Amino acid sequence: MIKSFKGEFSWLSNFYPCSITLNNNIFPSVEHAYQSEKSNDSEWKKKCQTILNPGQIKKESKKIKINRKEWDSKRLKVMEFLINQKFDQESLRIKLLATNDKILQEGNNWGDEFWGINIRTGKGLNHLGKLIMKKRDKLKGLIF
Q: Are 29 and 14 in contact (CB under 8 A)?
A: yes
Residue type present at position 69: K
pTM score of the predicted model: 0.94
Q: Is 37 left (phi over 0), alpha (psi -120 to 50) or beta?
A: alpha
Which CATH number applies to 7-139? 1.10.357.40
Residue range 2-24, pLDDT digits in tens: 999 999 999 999 999 999 999 99
> How many residues are present in the chain?
144
Which helix (H) or strand (E) segment holds residue 128: the answer is helix 127-139
Q: How many other C-beta atoms lie within 10 A of the C-beta of residue 9?
A: 17
Q: Give the mean model confidence (pLDDT) for residues 112-123.
A: 96
Strand pairing report for 25-27 and 20-22: antiparallel
Other beta carbons within 10 angstroms of residue 16's beta carbon come to 17
Q: Where are the beta strands (DSSP E) in the chain?
A: 20-22, 25-27, 107-108, 117-118
Rounded distance, CA 91 to CA 106, Å? 20
Which residue ranges make up each domain of the chain?
7-139
The answer to whether 134 and 143 have CB atoms below 8 angstroms apart is: yes
pLDDT on residue 114: 96
Q: Kindly report, residue by residue over 52-88, the tens digit of the pLDDT.
A: 899 999 999 999 999 999 999 999 999 999 999 999 9
Q: What is the pLDDT of residue 54?
A: 96
116-121: average pLDDT? 96
Q: 110: which residues sit within 8 A by CB, 6+ positions away?
A: none
